[in-house]
Amino acid sequence: MTFLPRTEHELVRMGDDELIEHVRRARAVGEVEQAVLALRVLVYGHWDRIERRVALKVPREEVEAVTSDVVFSAISSAFDGGSPGEFATWLNTITSRRIADHHRRRAGSPTLVEIGSMRSGEEAGSAIEPADRSQEGLVETEDALARVLGALSEQHARVVERHVLAGVPAREVGEELGVGADNVAQIASRFRRRLREHLSMGEDR
């Protein structure tokens, strides 16, 4: 199989069909970095659509956080489908589960449901069972998390660990660490924005 590596600039100009085919071909020839990059471009291209769907289910002030959770889950997972329809189903499933996780956390049960790969043999409308995360995307996401956390002050890093990563409500984190709930939310928002920037840099880092 002939495979031509693409730069991020070239990938962002592709449509969903081309990106999905690039992911498929890259994995087939063992070009893991190309597969991860193309999937990231594909997912980020749907950020606005994810955000609109999340906004229908969660309070306005929490839309950014849940949307970020969806995107980070998606780029840390493996998509093995072969069509835009399968991709849409896969992404919708991740979105629904992250929304459900958000409501579980608000109810006091912060359980994150892992999202695995969607195999090409599955029907587009079928349920997608949890599976192991794609190691290729997970390693990159964890590396970005470590870099962004490492750049924070000790107190801000603790806020992020408790509120963003552990799902503890902002008010409780504020009481634990002696900061206002509004400050907790601002720290979390800046962290998510910076993490998004790191993940979107791709090959330029």
Summarised one tens digit per residue, pLDDT across range 164-198 is: 777 778 888 889 889 888 888 888 888 888 877 77
Whether 109 has a pLDDT exceeding 90, the answer reads no
Please name the amino acid found at residue 128.
I
151: left (phi over 0), alpha (psi -120 to 50) or beta: alpha
Distance from C-alpha of 82 to C-alpha of 64, rounded to nearest angstrom: 29
Q: Which residues pair with 79 in a beta bridge?
A: 118
Among the listed residues 32, 30, 38, the one whose alpha carbon sits nearest the alpha carbon of residue 12: 38
Whether 152 has a pLDDT exceeding 90, the answer reads no
Residues 30 and 5 sit within 8 Å (Cβ to Cβ): no
The pTM (predicted TM-score) of the whole model is 0.63
Among the listed residues 62, 32, 69, 26, the one whose alpha carbon sits nearest the alpha carbon of residue 47: 69
Give the residue-averaged pLDDT of 105-117.
53
Buried b / exposed e along 112-123 (16+ C-beta atoms within 10 A)? eeebebbeeebe
Comparing 50 with 113, the larger pLDDT belongs to 50
Whether 115 has a pLDDT exceeding 80, the answer reads no
pLDDT digits (tens, 9 = 90+) for 48-90: 999 999 999 888 888 888 898 888 888 888 788 788 999 999 9
Model confidence at 20, in pLDDT bands (50, 70, 90)?
very high
